[in-house]
Amino acid sequence: MKSADSELFSIAQAVAEAAGALLLRERPVILHAQAKSSPTDAVTEMDKRAETLIVTMLSEARPHDGVLGEEGANRPTKTNVRWIVDPLDGTVNYLYGLPLWSVSIAAEVDGAVCVGVVDVPALGRRYAAVRGSGATCATAEGVRPLAASAVNDLGMSLVATGFGYASEGRARQATIVADLLPRVRDIRRLGSAALDLCLVGDGQLDAYYETGLNPWDVAAGALIAEEAGARIRGAVGAWPDGGMALAAAPGIFSAMEESLGLRPY
Ligand code: IPD
Ligand code: CA
């Protein structure tokens, strides 16, 4: 690992861990949500507190880097590094007290994501990757390497997806999932895009796709899935074919593209 990447990796891990601990430890019993892009798109005070903590820690460690965060951080870079941050991915799960939510921190160097960390505090897992160095999952038992599943039959594949918050977009997403459902083992909608991508890397899902994502949803998770051997369609924030993001075990990637009506990538 290059020493520049190693520095960014250490910072990303420390920041993700601190934000994850804050969200786990300080979740109020009664959590109030405000509407963002639509009445069902929630933001809580904890999303904002986590982003403030992350931006403060990143600014202390690397004051001249850029930062893009879901809750409004948008600082241009004066170096070749920009951080892409989702302080709480899976806000609706967090609001309902479900454990599938994460903190996602990615570092982009010269426009390409090189470091990704996805902390999943309620599961006790921290997924991480550095470009060219593989992907890992750290738990209380230790650190293990990730590997995407060896499945090669779409009909035996467990596929996750997600839905946006605008109802017109959801109607389109519903037709896509209705077409796919008869062709796969089953469908999951877990509620955190960053975690979905890590689970593809961990072989606990065979594929994940979604339209309409933002860079902070996918920046870290896509690198983790790719470094674990999954195939990824498109670069972060630049998904082809109407913004369809796809990560899949290599043995079913082409079948997923075909089933979703995508041009081969
Ligand atoms: C959402 C989650 C969800 C995905 C949505 C995202 P948020 O992010 O990742 O799984 O389906 O498209 O917006 O709002 O919880 O940060
Ligand atoms: Ca998100």
The pLDDT tens digits for 86-132 are 999 999 999 999 999 999 999 999 999 999 999 999 999 999 999 99
The answer, yes or no, to whether residue 232 has pLDDT greater than 80, is yes
First to last CA, the chain: 29
Q: How confident is the model at residue 265 (pLDDT cuts 50, 70, 90)?
A: confident
Residue 33: both structure tokens together = 């949500």
Domains 3-145 and 154-259 share a fold: no
Rounded to two decimals, the pTM is 0.96
Q: In degrees rounded to 5, what are phi and psi of residue 181?
A: -50, -45
CA 160 to chain centre: 13
Report angle CA 81, 87, 90 to the nearest 5 degrees. 130
Q: How far is 260 from 47, CA to CA, in rounded Å?
A: 33
Ligand 1 pocket residue status of 51, Cβ below 6 Å: no
Ligand 1 pocket residue status of 164, Cβ below 6 Å: yes
- C-beta of residue 198 within 8 angstroms of C-beta of residue 225: yes
Closest by CA to 138, choosing from 128, 130, 149, 147, is 128
- Per-residue pLDDT reduced to its tens digit, 136-181: 999 999 999 999 999 999 999 999 999 999 898 999 999 999 999 9
CATH architecture of the domain 3-145 equals 2-Layer Sandwich (3.30)
- Per-residue pLDDT reduced to its tens digit, 14-67: 999 999 999 999 898 888 888 888 888 878 899 999 999 999 999 999 999 999
Amino acid letter, residue 7: E
CATH no., domain 154-259 = 3.40.190.80
- C-beta of residue 23 within 8 angstroms of C-beta of residue 121: yes
- What local confidence, expressed as pLDDT, does residue 249 receive? 98
For ligand 1, atom 5, the nearest C-alpha belongs to: 164
- What local confidence, expressed as pLDDT, does residue 226 receive? 97
Residue 215: both structure tokens together = 């860079």
If one residue of 197, 217, 239 were mutated to test the ligand 1 pocket, choosing by the most ligand atoms within 8 A of its CB, it would be 217
- What local confidence, expressed as pLDDT, does residue 164 receive? 92
Listed by start position, the domains of the chain span 3-145, 154-259
Ligand 1 pocket residue status of 163, Cβ below 6 Å: yes
Ligand 1 pocket residue status of 227, Cβ below 6 Å: no
Q: How far is 24 from 18, CA to CA, in rounded Å?
A: 10
Q: How far is 32 from 65, CA to CA, in rounded Å?
A: 32
Q: How confident is the model at residue 194 (pLDDT cuts 50, 70, 90)?
A: very high
